[in-house]
């Protein structure tokens, strides 16, 4: 699991790679926590190269979405969600709670 | 052991979930599951092992998890054994996929995914071999 982060003018972009499970979710949580701690709540999470996400990872997305949405115009949006992960989001009814975009630049344009 | 079957025992640490996942992928390939069914089994087993570490053992490093994969005529059966506290899945509140964001609780999704991703799920507690979770996924299943 690898996470990179860059700050754009209107939002922050986080690119995750690899497996997000109960062990590796900490890496993602820490990256998201740093952004929130800096008072930034407009976040794009690119999942293109994520091979697997467990409920521990999905819980982190829900927690972050809740925090961001409590802030003025804050939101966590998802980009380039792989088909299997999209199916899992659908199954748990999470697709309705996140805006999903085909590309990272479309996701950034959300803000 | 039948060459179509395989076994793995790991210590109950989250860092071992990757090894479990690789083991499941190999068994799923041997059983002829497609990519979608393989992902489903990988996720159900990952969630089950995470629950065993968190709930049955109450933390990391407190017991072992044994997995047995058996290729059957219609698909793949995975049996997961642990020696932890029996965990009653009926007591886990059912996840509501319609619930709005503010009502979503972190955690508690594992059993939901296990039930919804597999074709059959059977929990057996207090057997001479400890607790047993038997999962079955049909080949070319659409669920």
Do the Cβ atoms of A45 and A77 come closer than 8 Å? yes
Average pLDDT of B12-31? 98
Predicted pLDDT at B143: 47
Is 0.90 exceeded by the ipTM? yes
Element (H, E) at B5: strand B5-11
Q: Which two tokens stand for residue B79?
A: 């049996």
Predicted pLDDT at B71: 97
Do the Cβ atoms of B84 and B123 come closer than 8 Å? no
Do the Cβ atoms of B110 and B47 come closer than 8 Å? yes
H helices within B1-143, ranges in order?
A: 17-30, 35-51, 110-117
**Which fold does the domain A2-109 belong to in CATH?**
Transcription Regulator spoIIAA (3.30.750)
pLDDT digits (tens, 9 = 90+) for B72-122: 999 999 999 999 998 776 677 778 888 988 888 766 799 999 999 999 999
pLDDT digits (tens, 9 = 90+) for A38-62: 999 999 999 999 999 999 999 999 9
Average pLDDT of A55-75? 94
Do the Cβ atoms of A52 and B42 come closer than 8 Å? yes
Domain ranges of chain A: 2-109
Domain ranges of chain B: 5-138
Predicted pLDDT at B90: 67
Q: Do B18 and A97 touch (CB under 8 A)?
A: no
Give B-chain residues touching A60 at CB under 8 angstroms. 106
Predicted pLDDT at B57: 96
Q: Is A100 on the interface with B (CB under 8 A)?
A: no
**Strand pairing partners for B78?**
B69, B135
The domain over range B5-138 is classified in CATH as 3.30.465.10: no
Instruction: Give which of B11, B13, B18 to mutate to test A binding, by max A Cβ within 10 Å.
Output: B18
Q: Do B116 and A91 touch (CB under 8 A)?
A: yes
3-state helix, strand, coil in chain A (%, to 5): 40, 30, 25
């Amino acid at each position: 699991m690898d996470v990179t982060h860059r700050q754009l003018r209107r939002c922050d972009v986080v690119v995750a790679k690899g497996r997000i499970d109960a062990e590796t979710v900490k890496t993602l949580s820490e990256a998201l926590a740093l952004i929130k701690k800096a008072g930034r709540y407009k976040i794009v999470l690119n999942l293109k190269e994520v091979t697997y996400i467990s409920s521990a990872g999905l819980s982190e997305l829900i927690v972050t979405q809740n925090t961001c949405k409590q802030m003025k115009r804050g939101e966590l949006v998802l980009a380039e969600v792989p088909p299997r992960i999209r199916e899992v989001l659908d199954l748990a009814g999470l697709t309705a709670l996140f805006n999903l975009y085909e590309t990272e630049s479309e996701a950034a344009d959300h803000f | 052991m039948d060459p179509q079957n395989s076994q793995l025992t790991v210590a109950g640490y989250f860092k071992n979930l990757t090894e479990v996942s690789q083991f499941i992928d190999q068994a799923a390939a041997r059983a002829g599951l497609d990519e979608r069914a393989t992902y489903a089994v990988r996720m159900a087993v990952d969630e089950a092992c995470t629950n065993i570490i968190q709930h049955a053992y109450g933390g990391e490093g407190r017991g072992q998890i044994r997995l047995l994969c058996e290729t059957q005529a219609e698909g793949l059966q995975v049996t997961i054994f642990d020696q932890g506290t029996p965990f009653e899945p009926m007591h886990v509140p059912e996840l509501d996929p319609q619930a709005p964001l503010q009502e979503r609780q972190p955690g508690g999704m594992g059993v939901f995914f296990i039930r919804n991703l597999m074709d059959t799920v059977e929990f057996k507690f207090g057997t001479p071999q400890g607790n047993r979770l038997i999962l079955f996924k049909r080949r070319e299943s659409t669920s």
